[in-house]
């Protein structure tokens, strides 16, 4: 698979239409009804079950889409007449199409507190969450695999340890190598790292999220400046509370329960992002991206991914977790999530591409 960035020029190069050759009626402003219809249709965009980072990228991509002047000859007017959805026509007019599949490692990482915010060094903490995401424009699907942070792996020069330590020892590069080695040599094309304050910043930028807290949660982690103090019930969580809810793991469910709570938060975030009024928060969302996200995806790739995911239906997005078992109390010095070769085969075969 090529890692060559997707560019608008590549997509538009095949369009030889000259604006000067078009009748005057083609050069009129975009119909108001078309814009209004598109904004209304955005309420129904299926953001459920997409990872936090993809949700953030989609929101930024959506804002860029609505704020951009689309060349009139880039729109499929014939398609509109024959029944195509307005949002599909407008999105295509962006000139950003996902033309190849991508397999992306997404990590939520503990921020290195003594490093400047947004610096490369600030993202070299332990990965609190790991997602392997495959976007396939041919099958029009997104596959998401959650990898428990306590998964036992060997790391060169460091011995057997937890998979969340790879980012500390060697940054995104080593994390990709370790994940690939553990998962049958799975191909990883790009990475995204979001520091743990990124979720809180996003929730605050969106004005809070609605979550039903199932039980009393109280815990303090002074090293990460994390203070969790939540009561049960339906409520609006601010950024700090949402982060605490998603990271809490001090109960009988451990790491698996934490993954389930993260999915609850992600669903609430996506519900907020699906509201067309999200464009009003675009400056804050861009600020979140700049300070809290590190990635080797190009801007064109981000836009193409946003365009692609916006048009998917819920059935086209699948979310699974890497199966395994918790280690026995006296089995190892530390507790691990033990994954067998059969568990890896089940997660990877016929889903992700290997090298």
Closest CA to 211 of 186, 180, 234, 238: 234
Residue 68 to residues 17, 63, 240, 269, 278, Cα–Cα distance (Å): 20, 9, 33, 25, 16
CA distance linking residue 301 with residue 307, whole number of Å: 10
CA distance linking residue 103 with residue 135, whole number of Å: 6
Q: What is the model's pLDDT at position 305?
A: 84
State how far Cα 165 lies from the chain centre. 21
CA distance linking residue 44 with residue 276, whole number of Å: 10
Q: What is the model's pLDDT at position 302?
A: 81
Q: What is the model's pLDDT at position 275?
A: 65
State how far Cα 325 lies from the chain centre. 26
Q: Which residue has the tokens 């033309």?
A: 99
φ and ψ at residue 20, rounded to 5 degrees: -65, -20
Cα-Cα-Cα-Cα dihedral sign, residues 59, 188, 8, 17: negative
CA distance linking residue 68 with residue 133, whole number of Å: 28
φ and ψ at residue 121, rounded to 5 degrees: -70, -25
Q: What is the model's pLDDT at position 20?
A: 45
Under 8 Å between Cβ of 247 and 128: yes
CA distance linking residue 302 with residue 2, whole number of Å: 16
Residue 246 to residues 61, 63, 309, Cα–Cα distance (Å): 25, 26, 24
Under 8 Å between Cβ of 337 and 345: no
Q: What is the model's pLDDT at position 94?
A: 53
Q: What is the model's pLDDT at position 6?
A: 36
φ and ψ at residue 289, rounded to 5 degrees: -60, -45
CA distance linking residue 70 with residue 262, whole number of Å: 37
Q: What is the model's pLDDT at position 132?
A: 96
Those residues of the chain that have pLDDT short of 70 are 1-77, 79-81, 84-96, 222-225, 252, 254-255, 273-283, 310
């Amino acid at each position: 698979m090529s890692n060559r960035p997707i560019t608008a020029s590549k997509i538009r190069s095949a369009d030889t239409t000259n604006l000067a050759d078009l009748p005057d009626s083609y050069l009129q402003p975009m119909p108001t009804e078309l814009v209004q219809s598109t904004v209304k249709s955005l309420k129904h965009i299926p953001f459920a079950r997409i990872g936090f980072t993809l949700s953030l990228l989609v929101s930024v991509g959506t804002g860029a889409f609505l704020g951009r002047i689309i060349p009139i000859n880039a729109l499929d007017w014939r398609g509109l007449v024959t029944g195509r959805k307005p949002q599909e026509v407008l999105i295509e007019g962006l000139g950003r199409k996902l033309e190849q599949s991508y397999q992306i490692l997404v990590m939520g990482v503990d921020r290195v507190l003594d490093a400047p915010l947004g610096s490369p060094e600030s993202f070299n903490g332990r990965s609190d969450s790991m997602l392997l995401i495959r976007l396939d424009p041919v099958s029009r699907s997104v596959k998401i695999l959650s990898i428990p942070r306590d998964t036992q792996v060997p790391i060169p020069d460091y011995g057997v340890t937890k998979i969340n330590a790879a980012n500390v020892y060697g940054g995104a590069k080593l994390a990709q190598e370790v994940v690939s080695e553990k998962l049958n040599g799975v191909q990883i094309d790009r990475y995204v790292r979001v520091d743990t304050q990124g979720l809180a910043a996003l929730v605050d930028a969106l004005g809070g999220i609605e979550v039903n807290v199932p039980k009393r949660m109280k815990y303090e982690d002074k090293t990460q400046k994390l203070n969790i103090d939540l009561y049960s019930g339906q409520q609006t969580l601010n950024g700090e509370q949402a982060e605490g809810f998603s990271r809490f793991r001090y109960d009988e469910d451990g790491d698996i329960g934490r993954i389930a709570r993260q999915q609850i938060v992600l669903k609430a975030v996506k519900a907020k992002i699906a509201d067309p009024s999200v464009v009003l928060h675009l400056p804050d969302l861009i600020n979140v991206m700049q300070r809290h996200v590190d990635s080797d995806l190009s801007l064109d790739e981000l836009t193409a991914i946003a365009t692609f995911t916006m048009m998917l239906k819920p059935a086209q997005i699948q979310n699974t977790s890497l199966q395994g078992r918790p280690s026995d109390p006296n089995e190892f010095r530390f507790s691990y999530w033990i994954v067998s070769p059969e568990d890896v085969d089940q997660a990877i075969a016929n889903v992700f591409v290997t090298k």
